[in-house]
Structure 1
Amino acid sequence: MAEHAVKRRRLSPPGDSVAVPGFAKWNIEQDYENRPRKNKKEKAEKLLVKTAEGWKENERHAVADKAAEAEDDADSFLASDDEKDSGVSDLEPRPEPKKPRLPPKEEIRQAKEELARIAGHISENPEENVAQLGQLAQIAESENVTVKKLALGTQLAVYKDIIPGYRIRPLGKDDMTAKVSRDVRNLRAFEQGLLGGYKEYVKRLGKLAQDKEMGSVAVACASTLLTSVPHFNCRNDLIALVVRKLSTRQFSADAQKCVEALEQLFREDESGHASLEAVLQLTKMIKGKNYQIHESVLNTFLHLRLLSEFAHKASTNRIDKEEDEDAQQDRKKLGKKQREFRTKRERKVLRERKEVEKEFKEADAVVSYEERDKNQAETLKLVFVAYFRILKARVQHLMGAVLEGLAKYSHLINQDFFGDILEALKDLINEAEASLEIDEEDGESAVDLATQRNATRESLLCIITAFALLQGQQDVAKSANSLHLDLNFFITHLYRTLLPLALNQDIELSAKTAHLQDPNGLPLPVGKDSKVNVATTTVLLLRSLQSVLLPPTATKQVPPVRVAAFTKQLLTSTLHLPQKSATAVLGLLGQVSKTHAKKVAALWSSEERKGDGVFDALGKEVESSNPFAATCWEGELLRCHFDPRVREGVRGVERNVLEGR
């Protein structure tokens, strides 16, 4: 059998007329070995020439070197003319194939190890390894979502660990050219590297917050940074990211994180700078969104520190400060004889001591009271502007939060602003009454039951807010006649709503009971942080009655006719209330009978009646209802109630009346 000839690879194209390539006869390796090589020492030994611009290489030597390099390239077999004829051009280098991607689990494992190694190096020596922050940012650009999340979390932990307790100032041109010591230079390099990496990280969080997969992680990182390092740079960017998440009425889990972050920021802010920036952005966002936000955004204002620290009166445009605020003014008024005598040496020692104390305060970064009061005053004005705009716009779903906020800040409201608020509350009550009227022509209610319940609750909230404002303004309450503030309007409205409320089947339900779930299926923040505006209707009614019948001021201010009329109406309403509400109302009547025993004693004795005529339970005015013409016969029926707590409550009311006669 004949042996087959060994096949050789053709290097030239099939259509080439040359049978054998030309380079096949060459000894390529020997020619390459014998080719002259460049002598680097010769180039290094050439002297430089001094010119007007400085020391430079001689032009003649440079031209000769370029010519030599050109000859070497011409002699090279890769650049020879025979290359084209020999077919070497057919052997072009192929592009290197991409490295195969690792499996996801292996990629995550390697990313964890790399992130842990880099984070450990940075934490051990931040000043020397600050450049490795860029490596963490590169890992965060991975296509793997899990690796991205791990990288963002690692960056968060690293920045929280190495960020100093002060704000870094960007360097100017003068700082860059100034001569400083080595330690200062190293510190500046560390600060600028840290600041640059942190800015890129915050910018990255702002972009990822809009992503569906990475949005939750980005919001969590931004919220943590805002509460952990609020003094550091880029605070406005973090606040803007958080506020942007709260610009919709749909309340998600990310929005809840943002609300909690803002509340913590307000509680822990000592200087007031961060609170002022956050409130400014919140009020702009609320106005820009035409008040279509969730009420939890407004409830964040209740956590501002100015509730317990700010002591001046404010409105939407000015702050009223006390005249004798500084002790220095009183000291200036004193004569020279009344001042304490000090020698020249004692005055010098006292002056030096004050300077030392001032330096200590600056070193400890103690917040001055003047600066804090200024920031809190501006914050309070912004809050009042937002509240009053919502009142004027009649935004229904935010009305409860606004009324509660006004009640909380009642002790900080200026007298001029106080009168406007009361007028707005009256308008709200009138609108609520108009919405509950029955159309006689159609014979149907103008609104459904849900709207009717909301209108009733809104009226009760207005009454609570009006009396809370008066309780917080003792000077306004004393001069109510001069300001023409008619609180009888609120009292009369409350008296007329007692009997309809007793027949309300949803009186023991809160504002959120009927819709505890958000449209997204997430639970709303109702529970341990429940506010007044989400309390049950019974709770709102009791708070209103307590403000009318048991004010914190002297009891003589409550007329006997008012106490008797409300007592009679409440006992009648108790017959129709559920057991829990009936027990609560009887508990309130027990306090009223104990405080105003002599004023209501005649209602339990038919022989001691002071009024003539007939009691009008449906009267529009409290004083014209003639309550002393009636007797409290409802107690005999309540003695037979099935709930023992109701029976005990009735006995307690009658016992207080007998003891107080």
Structure 2
Amino acid sequence: MVAKSKLANKQRFKKVAKKSAKTNANAKKPKRLPKTTKTKDKSNKTSTPVIQKQPEIDNGEDMLDMVDEDDLQFLKSAINNKQYSMFNNVRVPGGKGKKKKIQKDDDTLENNYENEIDEQPKIKVKALLPIKTKQGIVKREVEHEDNSEEEEEDAGVEENEDKGDDDVSSDEEDSPAENTDVDVSQPITPAQLLLQRAEILQKKKLHIGTLSSGLLENPEEKITNFRTLIKLLDDETPEVYITIRKLGIVALLEVFKDLLPSYQIKAQETDGVKLKKDTLKLQKYETSLLQYYKKYLQKLEKFAGVLYKKRGDNRVRTQGEKNVGEVAVHAMCDLLITHPYFNFAPNLVQAIVPFLNNVNRNVRILVATALKTVFKEDKKEEITLKIIRVINHYLKSHSHNVNPEMLEILLSLRIKDVNLDQDKEIEIKGKKLNAHKANILAKLSKKEKKRKKRLQALEHELLETKAEENKQTKLKNLTEITKFLFGIYFRILKSSTNTKVLSVTLEGLAKFAHCINLEFYVDIVNVLDKLLAEDWLGYKEKLHCIQTVFAILSGQGEALNLDPTRFYVNLYAGMLDIHAGRNEKDFAVLLRTIMIGIIQRRKKITNKRIIGFAKRLVMLSLQSLHGGAVGSLGVVKNILQLCKAADVLLDVDNECGDGKFNAELDDPEYCNASSTALYELSLLSRHYHPIVGKYAVNIAKGVPATGEGSLLPIYGKCTPEELYSMFDMSEMAFNPSIPVPKKVQVSNKVKRHAFVDCEFRQKCFKRLKCTNGTYFMHI
């Protein structure tokens, strides 16, 4: 039975092979038969092929025998009408744009099916929700193109972006011009170039925004997005690379400002130590963040280096590159302000400080503003000390030939509470306390001594909880800052001849004179006295010299045996050099110097000197703008309030004085100002500015606090410096607004003036009689 079955199968397979050979005679590539293995037949001793798998060359003939003709017609019509979605997803083998050759033998179902697939357009039918109407249910369908491959590619790009891999879409973004439809053979219009640039820029913006938002949402998982953003800074697309670099710098700046911690990230050795998964994850994140931050700072320093022209570098920088450099400097300044205690803060200081001497004024102002902000917000004074050290080194290497902005920022230092003589004072107090302590301990019993030790231990612990160590560290840093500061100032005083730098130095000495060590007071005063005798020194610099001397003598220098008369004479002699036409801006320095030298030291100078300065201030107010006039009258008002001897200036009787007033004498001690009166107040009372007139009337009536002639509290309580800044004309605006003057008819009659001294009248005026009978007067 077994042999008969084998023989029947053999004959059956032969018939199948013959039929398949006939049907596939015209095929392009005939299908190969499955591999066969040779087996030995024991009865016939011949090898027969044994089929291991079901043959795939049947072409559905056995299945067609089982299908009825009605069902077969139904299937054909369903395929032609595309009624089943399962047939829509079948793709043509061989890729896009390649069609199979249609077989001539269309008798089988498989050939008809393949032909239908070849002719089928790449359009998908998507079934929508049906609508129920009065006529019944209406089915809805939407045809759309088959973009399955493009959707798969887009999904792959998004997935790689989420993982932080930027290699997927880099080729497309780096060469967007290749995908445009611009005909290279035809000339391109400016409108097409602008449109192309806008499209490229929009893609880059979206890419930068996506990466940045991903970092802010989940920084630990998407930390590698930093790599893509930093690579964008090296973009070389000719149309948009300047804008892309600016956008990349600003985007990374905002991300780092939000993500950087307030503490320093330190490298920890974990060899042989088992850590938790969360700890390892945090360490890996912090290490990666620090590495990307370092790369970002290196890029910023590279871009900012364009603003400096080194020796031998003859490259011409475009304005766009310079703008990128300014943005890079701005980013470094913002990072230093936001995270002054994070890693690489000293490196930021080292890179920023040289820009205080840059040619570009906007860059200098930007860096100076940032460093002033750091000085104000620095609580530990560590970064401030680092900035002062870098400035000190830069000044030494450039022989103090720098822009004044580098020294102006030092005026914002907060070192008013520093006392360089504190160490000596502490030693003296310590010796006294130790002697007193030894006397007390000698009288204590053993129990009391033990109790004393326990109390001391408890006080030490309490000091640690109150962060006394931080206070001591801060005080130590302040002391170092003060030493570097005065070292800079003293070197400039001895060697520099740059008037702008010297002016700022003298202003700084005047502001921080109370912090100078007593041992240097005499030497500083002598140096300033020699400077006043120099011809190349300007009036503002002289005022700063005098202000510094008065500041020294008003503080700890009161114990010094110095005669400041020569400085008072210099100040009095140069007061009338200020007028509205040339150097009105120096009025603030003059007022500050007079307040220190006259008002604060009024008890150590004579009444004659005070009266002489009051008279000259009123004379000065006649040749100044209303801001300077109000400031001068404010000083006179304070003098009349604090010095009763100055009331003699309100008396018009000349018999009470020692002699005649000599306005040309430069010494206030011997000009006999007490023999005159404040006649200028009559002119100032009719001043074009109403506040000047009110101050003149108030002084003329004896400075009353209430009643007639009194001032409003808003003006009466202001200092002279505040009055000057309040009514300053630097912005070319009146405060308050000035009323329009009334029209006055000028009479032709000559007003005769009465002079007490005839010689003075002949010296000042010459009368010339004109042809029409009027008089013309020359000064």
**TM-score, structure 2 as length reference:** 0.57
Give the 3-state SS of the residue equivalent to 1:335 in structure 2: helix
Q: Which residue matches 2:404?
A: 295
Cα distance change of structure 1 residues 396 and 30 upon mapping to structure 2, 3 Å threshold: farther
Q: Does 1:462 align with 2:462?
A: no
1:225 to 321, 328, 335: 335
Cα distance change of structure 1 residues 640 and 169 upon mapping to structure 2, 3 Å threshold: closer
Q: Which residue matches 1:182?
A: 276
Q: Which residue matches 1:310?
A: 418
Paired residues for 1:592-603 under 5 Å: 592-601=639-648
Please report how far the alpha carbon of residue 117 of structure 1 lies from its aligned counterpart in structure 2 after TM superposition.
3.4
Q: Which residue matches 1:381?
A: 483
Give the 3-state SS of the residue equivalent to 1:165 in structure 2: coil
Distance 2:684 2:324 in 1: 64
Cα distance change of structure 1 residues 332 and 493 upon mapping to structure 2, 3 Å threshold: same
Distance 1:369 1:569 in 2: 48
8 Å CA contact retained: 1:461, 1:540 = yes
Distance 2:301 2:217 in 1: 29
Q: Does 1:414 align with 2:517?
A: yes
Q: Does 1:545 align with 2:594?
A: yes
Give the 3-state SS of the residue equivalent to 2:546 in structure 1: helix
Distance 1:195 1:258 in 2: 24
Cα distance change of structure 1 residues 601 and 658 upon mapping to structure 2, 3 Å threshold: farther
**Structure 1: gaps spanning 5 or more residues:** 1-26, 35-97, 436-453, 509-535
Q: Does 1:624 align with 2:684?
A: no
Distance 2:302 2:445 in 1: 64
1:335 to 437, 440, 448: 440
Distance 1:289 1:29 in 2: 88
Q: Which residue matches 1:256?
A: 365
8 Å CA contact retained: 2:654, 2:676 = no
**Structure 2: gaps spanning 5 or more residues:** 1-27, 36-170, 178-195, 307-321, 706-779
More divergent stretch after superposition (321-330 vs 602-611): 321-330
Deviation by residue 1:562-608 (Cα, 9 ceiling, x = unmatched): 12333344445455555554444333223222322335527835465
Q: Does 1:396 align with 2:499?
A: yes
Paired residues for 1:186-265 under 5 Å: 186-211=281-306, 212-248=322-358, 250-265=359-374
Cα distance change of structure 1 residues 324 and 106 upon mapping to structure 2, 3 Å threshold: farther
Q: Which residue matches 1:589?
A: 636
Q: State the structure with more CA Rg.
A: 2
Cα distance change of structure 1 residues 277 and 334 upon mapping to structure 2, 3 Å threshold: farther
Q: Which residue matches 1:323?
A: 427
Please report how far the alpha carbon of residue 277 of structure 1 lies from its aligned counterpart in structure 2 after TM superposition.
0.7
Larger RCO (alpha carbons 8 Å, 6+ apart): 1
Paired residues for 1:457-606 under 5 Å: 457-471=540-554, 473=555, 475-477=556-558, 479-481=559-561, 485-501=562-578, 505-508=581-584, 536-551=585-600, 555-574=602-621, 576-577=623-624, 581-601=628-648, 604=651, 606=653
Paired residues for 1:631-646 under 5 Å: 631-632=676-677, 634-635=679-680, 638=683, 641=686, 643=688
Cα distance change of structure 1 residues 606 and 216 upon mapping to structure 2, 3 Å threshold: same
Cα distance change of structure 1 residues 104 and 338 upon mapping to structure 2, 3 Å threshold: farther
Cα distance change of structure 1 residues 272 and 334 upon mapping to structure 2, 3 Å threshold: farther
Q: Which amino acid aligns with 1:261?
A: A
Deviation by residue 1:619-640 (Cα, 9 ceiling, x = unmatched): 3533333444x32273586378
Cα distance change of structure 1 residues 638 and 375 upon mapping to structure 2, 3 Å threshold: same
8 Å CA contact retained: 1:575, 1:634 = no
Q: Which residue matches 2:262?
A: 165
1:110 to 184, 188, 203: 203
Deviation by residue 1:367-426 (Cα, 9 ceiling, x = unmatched): 612211111111111111112222221320123322221122122111122222222322
Distance 1:603 1:306 in 2: 43
1:156 to 233, 238, 253: 253
Cα distance change of structure 1 residues 169 and 620 upon mapping to structure 2, 3 Å threshold: same
Cα distance change of structure 1 residues 28 and 332 upon mapping to structure 2, 3 Å threshold: farther
8 Å CA contact retained: 1:313, 1:411 = no
Distance 2:638 2:345 in 1: 51
Cα distance change of structure 1 residues 470 and 322 upon mapping to structure 2, 3 Å threshold: farther
Q: Which residue matches 1:101?
A: 176
Give the 3-state SS of the residue equivalent to 2:501 in structure 1: helix
Q: Which residue matches 2:47?
A: none
Distance 2:429 2:264 in 1: 32
Cα distance change of structure 1 residues 151 and 620 upon mapping to structure 2, 3 Å threshold: closer
Give the 3-state SS of the residue equivalent to 2:357 in structure 1: coil
8 Å CA contact retained: 1:460, 1:541 = yes
8 Å CA contact retained: 2:304, 2:326 = yes
Deviation by residue 1:115-165 (Cα, 9 ceiling, x = unmatched): 333334433443343333223222332222322222222222222222222
Deviation by residue 1:165-205 (Cα, 9 ceiling, x = unmatched): 2212234xxx2533231343333222222221111111111
8 Å CA contact retained: 1:230, 1:274 = yes
Please report how far the alpha carbon of residue 216 of structure 1 lies from its aligned counterpart in structure 2 after TM superposition.
1.7
Q: Which amino acid aligns with 1:560?
A: N
Distance 1:201 1:620 in 2: 63
Distance 1:604 1:297 in 2: 51
Cα distance change of structure 1 residues 155 and 332 upon mapping to structure 2, 3 Å threshold: farther
Distance 1:345 1:313 in 2: 35
Give the 3-state SS of the residue equivalent to 1:270 in structure 2: coil
Distance 2:632 2:679 in 1: 14
Deviation by residue 1:419-461 (Cα, 9 ceiling, x = unmatched): 2222232222211xx35xxxxxxxxxxxxxxxxxx82222222
8 Å CA contact retained: 2:649, 2:677 = no
8 Å CA contact retained: 2:652, 2:676 = yes
Instruction: Give the number of equivalent residue pairs.
Output: 498
Please report how far the alpha carbon of residue 226 of structure 1 lies from its aligned counterpart in structure 2 after TM superposition.
0.6
Distance 1:356 1:617 in 2: 67
Please report how far the alpha carbon of residue 279 of structure 1 lies from its aligned counterpart in structure 2 after TM superposition.
0.9
**TM-score, structure 1 as length reference:** 0.66
Q: Which amino acid aligns with 2:248?
A: A
Distance 2:586 2:199 in 1: 59
Please report how far the alpha carbon of residue 254 of structure 1 lies from its aligned counterpart in structure 2 after TM superposition.
2.5
Deviation by residue 1:464-522 (Cα, 9 ceiling, x = unmatched): 22222333x2x321x121xxx231111011222234446x73243xxxxxxxxxxxxxx
Please report how far the alpha carbon of residue 273 of structure 1 lies from its aligned counterpart in structure 2 after TM superposition.
1.2
8 Å CA contact retained: 1:247, 1:285 = no
8 Å CA contact retained: 1:166, 1:231 = yes
Distance 1:657 1:179 in 2: 81
Cα distance change of structure 1 residues 639 and 390 upon mapping to structure 2, 3 Å threshold: closer
RMSD, aligned α-carbons: 3.9
Q: Which amino acid aligns with 2:699?
A: V
More divergent stretch after superposition (270-279 vs 560-569): 560-569
Please report how far the alpha carbon of residue 646 of structure 1 lies from its aligned counterpart in structure 2 after TM superposition.
5.5
Cα distance change of structure 1 residues 476 and 322 upon mapping to structure 2, 3 Å threshold: farther
Q: Which amino acid aligns with 1:557?
A: K
